[in-house]
């Protein structure tokens, strides 16, 4: 019975939730790649253009989240636990918000040049979101439970790496930076990037709580 249940969920008949989640995690991949470009370029005009793109993808992601919540509220029957659907959509939206928040602060705070640690964190965000996208795609097939578990372990390792990058960068900042306003700029952007990886770990926890019901 449980088997039927999950088959029904991810069979091509589920035209509602799965395609929306697939769109949401693909959008996260797009935005993560642009974030790296925005942090790496030394051309301010180019950076501003990337940040504008991130803003547009954030609006797109908001719309997808909205659509998932709308489907959830208007569906009396849902493929899996309403709470899991809600939590997964909310946490994917959180990741996007912190990526967008990082990018936006570069502009608002008038940061001269993103640091190496920021690029490193953005690359870890991309890696985490790649795993998350694979994890969401893997939910399609009951045979993938072990694969999803492995993905969750990988996301946890990525978050640990991000913690290390963040800790080292913040300690160095408080050690070396004498300009308080510059310290605020860098610290808050690092914080937003690091929180994006935390949220990715939260997403892995939701995936785990979904698969544990079928294992």
Helix locations, the chain, DSSP H: 2-10, 17-40, 44-74, 82-108, 116-138, 145-176, 180-211
**Residue (93 or 130) nearer to a copy of itself, CB:** 93
**Residue (12 or 180) nearer to a copy of itself, CB:** 180
For 16-34, b/e burial (b = at least 16 CB within 10 A) is bbbebbbbbbebbeebbeb
Name, in order, each residue with C-beta under 8 angstroms of 14's C-beta and a sequence gap of 6 or more: 8, 79
Q: Check: CB of residue 46 under 8 Å from CB of residue 114.
A: no
**Residue (22 or 69) nearer to a copy of itself, CB:** 69
**Residue (193 or 210) nearer to a copy of itself, CB:** 210
Q: Which residues bind a copy of itself (CB under 8 A)?
A: 66, 69-70, 72-74, 104, 107-110, 167, 170-171, 174-175, 177-178, 180-181, 183-185, 187, 205, 208-210, 212-213
Name the residue among 155, 38, 25 with its Cα closest to residue 93: 25
- C-alpha to C-alpha distance for 24 and 14, rounded to whole angstroms: 16
- C-alpha to C-alpha distance for 68 and 140, rounded to whole angstroms: 17
Query: Cβ of residue 99: shortest distance to a copy of itself, in angstroms?
Result: 17
**Residue (29 or 49) nearer to a copy of itself, CB:** 49
Query: Cβ of residue 170: shortest distance to a copy of itself, in angstroms?
Result: 5
Query: Cβ of residue 74: shortest distance to a copy of itself, in angstroms?
Result: 5
Query: Cβ of residue 12: shortest distance to a copy of itself, in angstroms?
Result: 26
Query: Cβ of residue 117: shortest distance to a copy of itself, in angstroms?
Result: 13
**Residue (126 or 210) nearer to a copy of itself, CB:** 210
- C-alpha to C-alpha distance for 101 and 106, rounded to whole angstroms: 9
Query: Cβ of residue 29: shortest distance to a copy of itself, in angstroms?
Result: 25
């Amino acid at each position: 019975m449980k088997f039927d249940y999950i088959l029904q969920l991810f069979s091509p008949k589920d035209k509602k939730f799965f395609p929306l989640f697939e769109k949401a995690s693909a959008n996260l991949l797009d935005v993560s790649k642009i974030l790296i470009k925005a942090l790496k370029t030394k051309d301010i005009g180019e950076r501003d253009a990337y940040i504008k793109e991130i803003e547009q993808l954030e609006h797109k992601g908001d719309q997808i989240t909205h659509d998932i919540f709308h489907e959830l509220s208007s569906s009396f029957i849902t493929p899996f636990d309403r709470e899991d659907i809600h939590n997964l959509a909310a946490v994917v939206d959180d990741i996007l918000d912190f990526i967008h928040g990082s990018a936006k602060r570069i502009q608002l705070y008038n940061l001269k040049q993103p640091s190496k640690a920021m690029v490193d964190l953005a690359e870890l965000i991309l890696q985490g979101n790649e795993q998350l996208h694979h994890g969401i795609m893997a939910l399609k097939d009951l045979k993938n439970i072990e694969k999803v578990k492995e993905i969750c372990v990988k996301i946890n390792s990525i978050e640990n790496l991000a913690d290390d990058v963040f800790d080292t960068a913040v300690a160095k900042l408080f050690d070396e930076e004498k300009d308080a306003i510059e310290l605020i700029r860098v610290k808050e952007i690092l914080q937003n990037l690091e929180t994006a990886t935390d949220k990715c770990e939260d997403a892995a926890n939701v995936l785990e709580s979904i698969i544990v019901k079928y294992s």
